[in-house]
Amino acid sequence: MSGRAVSAPVCTLHLALSGPHSRKGNAIHIVLDTNQFLQFESADCRREFGVNFAGVTLPPLVYAEIILRRNPRRSLNWLKSFSVRLGWTRGEVIRAITEGSESEISELRPFVSEVILKAASGNLFNPTQELRTWARDAKDRNLKFLSGMRQATREFRRLLRNLTAQGAAPPKTKFKDLEDALLHVGQGPDSFLGSLILPVDGKGNPKPTACSSPETLFSAVMENQFLRRWFLSLVCYTMGVAEAWENEEYNINPGLKRDDATDVTIPLYAANGDCIVTRDKMLQRIVSMVEPACRVSTLHFK
C-alpha cells in the first residue's frame, strides 16, 4: 500500500497543502472519509502535509463507522496524536436551523465545542457501549435519510416536467453545471433548493422556525459556508440520481447505497481552505461542482 497523495484533477493547483501543492500560511483541517482512513493512518501525514497540517475533522457518521469496527483501537490511538474536530449530526444541524435566528444560522459552525470535546475525549477515544449503540442507530438512520433523498428525487423530476411544460427548462432537461441549474431550481425558498433547506415535520409540513420569514432563513443558510456547501451538495446528488446533468460522468446510478448518505454529508464539515480526503468519485465530482474555485478541495491516497 502506497502513501502517495493524489489530488482530484479539478483542484490540483488549489490545494492548501505543504510540499508541491503548498500555499504558504494556510493551516488546514483534513476531513476524512471512511474509505481513506486506513491508507491515511499508514501514510506519514506530517511529512505529506507539513507544518500547515492543522488537524483532523471527523464527520459523525465516519466516527460511527470507525468505532463499529471489530478492532477500532489502532485508528482511535492514531487520532489521539492530532487536533480532532468532531461534527454535529444531521439532526443537530437541522435543529440549529429550525431554532436559530438569522444571525445565528449565518454564523453557525457545525462542530462540537472544544470544551465539550475535551470533557468527552476519554469516551471519544475509548468509546462506551452507549456510544456504540448511538453509532449503530446513526447508520440505521442513513436508510431514512436515503428514503428522503428518493422523495427529493421524485420531486425534482416533477419540477423538471413542470419546467418543460412552461418552456423554461433546457433541452432534454439537462443542465450544464450547478450555476446553470440554480437559475432554474435554486432561486429562493419556493425553489427546489428551498424545499431541501426549509425544515419540515415527519408528514412533510413546514415547521415553525425562529427566523422572521422563509426568505430570511433561506438567505441565512446560503450565507453560511458550511450549510451552503451541504445543501448544494444535496442538489448535485439529487440531480445526479435524476440523471439531469449534461455531463454523464456526474449522473449517478439510481441504485442508492447506504454509504451515499455519509458521503453526501461530508462537505458540511469542510471549512474554506480545508481538504476532503476521499477516493469516492461521486463525492470528488460533487465537491468540484459546488466549489469550482476550489475553496474546498479533495485528495486521495493510492
pLDDT tens track for 232-258: 999 999 888 888 899 988 988 755 565
How far, rounded to the nearest angstrom, does the alpha carbon of residue 206 sit from its chain's CA centroid? 24
Predicted confidence at residue 13, as pLDDT, reads 28
Identify which of 80-84, 227-231, 249-253 has the greatest average pLDDT.
227-231
- Which is higher by pLDDT, 40 or 170? 40
**Residue 295 reports pLDDT greater than 50:** yes
* Pair 124, 64: CB distance under 8 Å: no
Predicted confidence at residue 31, as pLDDT, reads 92
Average pLDDT over residues 23-41: 73
Cα R_g (the chain), whole angstroms: 19
Q: What share of the chain is helix, strand, coil (3-state, %, to 5)?
A: 55, 10, 35
Average pLDDT over residues 208-223: 96
Average pLDDT over residues 18-41: 65
Predicted confidence at residue 43, as pLDDT, reads 60
Task: Identify the residue whose cell numbers are 439529487.
Answer: 238
Please tell me the least confidently modeled range out of 99-113, 149-163, 197-211, 239-253. Answer: 149-163
* Pair 199, 97: CB distance under 8 Å: yes
Predicted confidence at residue 21, as pLDDT, reads 38
Predicted confidence at residue 8, as pLDDT, reads 41
Give 203: exposed, middle or buried? Use CB within 10 Å, 0-12, 13-18, 19+: exposed
The whole-angstrom separation of Cα 209 and Cα 201 is 12
Region class of 167: left (phi > 0), else alpha (psi between -120 and 50), else beta? left
Looking at residue 126, its amino acid is N
pLDDT single digits (tens) 268-283: 999 998 999 888 888 9
Predicted confidence at residue 75, as pLDDT, reads 86
Predicted confidence at residue 283, as pLDDT, reads 93
Please tell me the least confidently modeled range out of 143-147, 176-180, 297-301. Answer: 143-147
The whole-angstrom separation of Cα 113 and Cα 95 is 16
- pTM of the complete model: 0.83
Q: Model confidence at 301, in pLDDT bands (50, 70, 90)? A: low
Predicted confidence at residue 170, as pLDDT, reads 53
